[in-house]
Amino acid sequence: MTHLSNQPKNGALKGTGSDIAFQGKYAFAGNYDGFTVYDLSDKENPEQVVQVSCPGAQNDISVYKDILVLSTDSSRSDDSCQSTPLDATKKEAWEGIKIWDISNPLAPEYVKSIETACGSHTHSLAPSKNGRDVYAYVSSYSPSSAFPDCQPPHDIISIVKIPVKKPTSAKLVATPNLFPDGGYEGDPGRRASTTSGCHDITTYAKYDLAAGACMGDGILMDIKDRERPRVISQVRDTENFAFWHSATFNNDATKVVFTDELGGGGLATCTGEYAPELGANGIYDIERKRHGKTELAFKSYYKIPRINTAAENCVAHNGSLIPVKGKDLMVQAWYQGGVSVFDFTDSANPREVAWFDRGEGLSTGGSWSTYYYNGYAYSNDLGIGFDTFDIDDSIDGPAERVRQKSLNPQMQEPFGR
């Protein structure tokens, strides 16, 4: 991989860089202080064109047509962009999602907010079959009996229905319980988390599926009825996985890559002290059994092969597919472990095919998310801004000819069809 450019954080957005979404020639990059819009016309050197100040970590971000959605998972005094921190023990504290009109991407307009239980750590969009609505599956966790709006056991997700042509009519429509048995109880000895909701969900509307990374459990859901998702397969890894963080389907929805964010992004798990199965990806095949039963079948782990120093936080984090037909290729962020491209076409034998490592001490946190969009990989660094990478043509050559109109990595769409 070749590092082409970096657009440093600046202005009012000096907080942690988070997720990214893409539409047309624009990238929308989240930041704990708001979001930035980059013009990708010069793909090798994007231009910052808009900066929106709206504090509320993490500001996980998605775009769909003229709608932009932001997640707020930090307790705030109100739902405005002038809000200040307020303790979650206060009933009047606010957390949830914020909806923006981006019909003019250069002038985003904040139009609606929806408060959700325990806030919105992340969210994932799923359009209705008729295209009139888009649903936001809101993931949140960490309940406490001291939090009026975030009571345990919190085995739910929140579902918000957003009319595409009238987003001001968005409303909370369901809070399904995904874990009626309570989910995994956790294991402090392994730093393994108790299941209390989900951390992240990835939807794949074409196949009416969603994969949930839910702290102590990995799940596969049938989402034919968008307001009533149904868990059809559930897996646990009580030996190696500590925090089921995120999920990525392969293109034909026969596999899921789950990530394990051991240590919450703050541990140096790539030093050699931690086994290759810890802080890694888990690759699962989706197997259709008799009588309509579907199962997630574990095949292998993948972790970057390089040894980092004890001063570099490193663990599996956010990534996306590289659209090469006939192959399962993924580019992925590993915090200060850098960026990795790996091939999991053979589910049992994943292998790294390209990588970038900035080196120790140059970023305060490393790469949060790295995604492939129209020929290049783009990354949001926690500490130093927005990066652009070129991947060797021998790896992504066919993908460079694929033109995507948009990309929300937590709302997968097929390529090469």
Q: Taking the chain (417 residues) in consecutive chunks of 10 residues, what is each chunk's mean pLDDT?
A: 96 96 98 98 95 97 98 98 97 98 98 98 97 98 97 97 98 98 95 96 98 98 98 98 98 98 96 96 94 93 96 97 97 98 98 96 94 98 97 97 95 86
Q: Tell me the C-alpha distance between 26 and 40, whole Å.
A: 6
Question: Does residue 412 have a cis bond before it (omega within 30 degrees)?
Answer: no
Are 176 and 212 contacting, i.e. CB atoms less than 8 angstroms apart? Answer: no
> What local confidence, expressed as pLDDT, does residue 350 receive?
98
Cα-to-chain-centroid distance, residue 83:
25
Distance of CA 307 to CAs 47, 70, 146, 211, 358, Å? 34, 35, 42, 30, 14
Strand blocks (E) in 128-254: 133-139, 158-163, 171-174, 200-204, 209-214, 217-222, 230-235, 244-249
> What local confidence, expressed as pLDDT, does residue 37 receive?
98
> What local confidence, expressed as pLDDT, does residue 291 receive?
80
Q: Tell me the C-alpha distance between 17 and 110, whole Å.
A: 20
Question: Does residue 398 have a cis bond before it (omega within 30 degrees)?
Answer: no
* Number of CB atoms found within 10 A of residue 163's CB: 15
198: burial class by Cβ within 10 Å (0-12, 13-18, 19+)? Answer: buried
> What local confidence, expressed as pLDDT, does residue 197 receive?
95
